[in-house]
Amino acid sequence: MDAQLLLSGIIFGLSIGSIFFLMAIGLSLCFGLMRVISLDQLLYYSIGGYLTYTVSVGTGSVWLGVLAGLVVAGITAFAVERFVFRRIYDRDVAFSMITTFGILIGGVGVIKAIWGLVPRPVAMPAGDQVDILGTFVPGYRLIVIVVAILVYVAIWLFLNRTIVGKAIRAGIEDVDHVEGLGINVYRLFTITFIIAGTLSGLAGGLHAPLIMVDPSMGLEVIALVFMVVIIGGLGSIKGTAVSALLVGQVMSLGSLIYAPLAQMAPFAIMLLILLIKPTGLYGSPLLKR
């Protein structure tokens, strides 16, 4: 395998991993703090993608579209938290999974009603190729990677340097103790949910130019995103980042070796990791409530 192919493969894998990472953070935080498996994050991803499409067609700017996408995704997440999640926090995980799956397909129905069934292409911004060590790679993919790194840093700062972030970390350990101190944990839940929805929207917006937006775009990545979260360990940001990188590379480099392997290999890895360590790479055994 020549070096150029390898390098572009790695960049491709990193950009895919970045998208997965952005979506997986939200799922991971929601599970860690609220113990809900929020399948509806996939809906906010689709919303991000579709708004990017509509706004970029209207204004010509994809970036404006991504911005609109993440804002609307965040607002939708807020509404869902208020009207649905508030009622299901004290139920078990299977319950939240089914309920949020209902929200997901209901939302897909809404998207179909608004935008129709036809897949829509989104123009690629920053379409220039960038020269890295003699290999030309698409500039847009590099931007996606940079955005993911910035988000990682921002989330890290938020969780480690702000009091709300510290309260969220404490809540991931034991939410009752946080509430016992007199902290309004429901506000923490709302904040976490909005962050998760916004990041899913961002992921959808950034992914849109690389794929076509279509109503079932969320359902298509659902398995992959969950795999990222599981390999990393539910509730761990660091684990999510590591596993997103891993999955991105496995998919991208795997396809260079033997194409059909690309889609299967990550799942095989997940099974393997779960059998060795049933809580994922960084999942803490303390997570049981």
Residues in contact with another protein by the rule CB under 8 A: 31, 37, 84, 87-88, 92-95, 97-99, 101-110, 112-113, 163, 166-167, 169-170, 173-174, 176-186, 216, 219-220, 222-223, 226-227, 230, 234, 259-261, 263-264, 267-268, 270-271, 274-275, 278-279, 286, 288
Residue 89, CA atoms < 13 Å, CB-side half-sphere: 19
Give me the long-range contacts of 75-80 (CB less than 8 A, separation at least 24).
76/43, 76/44, 76/47, 76/197, 77/40, 77/44, 77/193, 77/194, 77/196, 77/197, 77/198, 77/200, 78/190, 78/193, 78/194, 78/197, 80/40, 80/193, 80/197
Q: Which residue number, 5 or 93, has a Cβ lying nearer to another protein?
A: 93
Tell me how far, at minimum, the Cβ of 173 lies from another protein, in Å. 5
Q: Which residue number, 110 or 123, has a Cβ lying nearer to another protein?
A: 110
Tell me how far, at minimum, the Cβ of 180 lies from another protein, in Å. 5
Q: Which residue number, 40 or 147, has a Cβ lying nearer to another protein?
A: 40
Tell me how far, at minimum, the Cβ of 256 lies from another protein, in Å. 16
Tell me how far, at minimum, the Cβ of 167 lies from another protein, in Å. 6
Tell me how far, at minimum, the Cβ of 93 lies from another protein, in Å. 4
Q: Which residue number, 132 or 264, has a Cβ lying nearer to another protein?
A: 264
Q: Which residue number, 22 or 80, has a Cβ lying nearer to another protein?
A: 80
Tell me how far, at minimum, the Cβ of 49 lies from another protein, in Å. 17
Q: Which residue number, 119 or 125, has a Cβ lying nearer to another protein?
A: 119
